[in-house]
Amino acid sequence: MAAITAALVKELREMTGAGMMDCKKALSATDGDMEKAVEFLREKGLAAAAKKAGRIAAEGLVTAKLDGKKAVLVEVNSETDFVAKNAEFQQYVSDVADQVMKSGAATIEELLAEPWALDPSLTVEQELSEKIARIGEKLSIRRFAKVETSGAVVTYIHGGGRIGVLVEADTDAADSAEVKEALKNVAMQIAALRPQYVSRADVPGDFIEKETEILRAQIMNDPKESQKPEKVINGMIEGRVSKELKEICLLDQVYVKAEDGKQTVAKYLEQVGKEAGSPVSIKRFVRFETGEGLEKKNEDFAAEVAAQL
């Protein structure tokens, strides 16, 4: 039996693109025979996954699971929207969410190293590789969020899995129908209006400083505006920053269902708290939108066919 050296593992990894641990296992199982190790990885679906590693997976689904006071939000990506609508892929995304719900992992790396709950002989990463081999596209478990609270938590999925939201709130009326409905409404607001922070208290000081600098530069570059007194300029800057904060802070946003078109989310929750007999305070929220921040593949089917021919 050949010695399983780090150099040998590295060589197999470069040949197949499979993970280091998978390469080590393959070499151990084949007594260090490189060709057999490659076959071993291919049979496991790991080498097939490696061939797709360079592809762009920016489609997919966001899904959520809710169990009492515990909730998870998960995004799994695919290369095409066609696969995202595939029943097998959708079931897999649901299974991943179940895995996260039971998992103690804090990172994707920790999650991938765990035993797959539906088949503990495989890790989550190995199951992912097998799924890639079956479906024929690059798939990626991109991110997840998990909440376990003493208050209330709700989830909301929009557009068949394009957007997912999780909202956690502190309240003694967590089981109140009014509170649950209110938090669902807030989750829908988050899905639609993309706030970045719960309140102004959560906005980093350097963000406000940067915006102030930009606005001051804009004013000073305007021949008319720049001639105004410093006090007036400062007031203009303060007003514009305040307007921007109303757009990016959830509690400052105008509640989308407000009858008067003026009631803020904060005032809406204050009203709900009075009706439920307990204050309702948003602790945090998470919003996932499928593929956000990822490079989208520029599909040109005719060019692809021509290239293959």
CA torsion angle 6 8 9 10 (round to 10): 80
What's the pLDDT at 224? 85
CA torsion angle 197 202 208 210 (round to 10): -80
Q: How many helices (H) and strands (E) does the chain have?
A: 13, 8
Q: What is the pLDDT of residues 47-85, one digit of tens each?
A: 655 555 556 667 999 999 999 999 999 999 999 989 999
Helices assigned H by DSSP within 176-295: 177-193, 205-220, 230-248, 265-276
Reported CATH class of domain 52-148: alpha beta
pLDDT by 10s per residue, the chain, length 309: 567 888 888 888 777 767 778 888 889 999 888 888 887 887 776 665 555 555 666 799 999 999 999 999 999 999 998 999 999 999 999 999 999 999 999 999 999 999 999 999 999 999 999 898 888 888 999 999 999 999 999 999 999 999 999 999 999 999 999 999 999 999 999 999 999 999 999 999 888 888 888 888 888 888 888 889 889 888 998 999 889 899 999 999 999 998 888 899 999 999 999 999 999 999 999 999 998 887 665 444 455 445 543
CA distance linking residue 35 with residue 272, whole number of Å: 67
Asked whether 156 and 165 are in contact (CB, 8 A), the reply is: yes
CA distance linking residue 20 with residue 24, whole number of Å: 6
Q: Residue ranges per domain, the chain? A: 6-51, 52-148
Asked whether 106 and 94 are in contact (CB, 8 A), the reply is: no
pTM value > 0.85: no
Q: What is the pLDDT of residues 93-124, one digit of tens each?
A: 999 999 999 999 999 999 999 999 999 999 99
Q: Which CATH superfamily is domain 6-51 in?
A: Ubiquitin-associated (UBA) domain (1.10.8.10)
CA distance linking residue 272 with residue 250, whole number of Å: 16
CA distance linking residue 142 with residue 70, whole number of Å: 21
Asked whether 190 and 167 are in contact (CB, 8 A), the reply is: yes
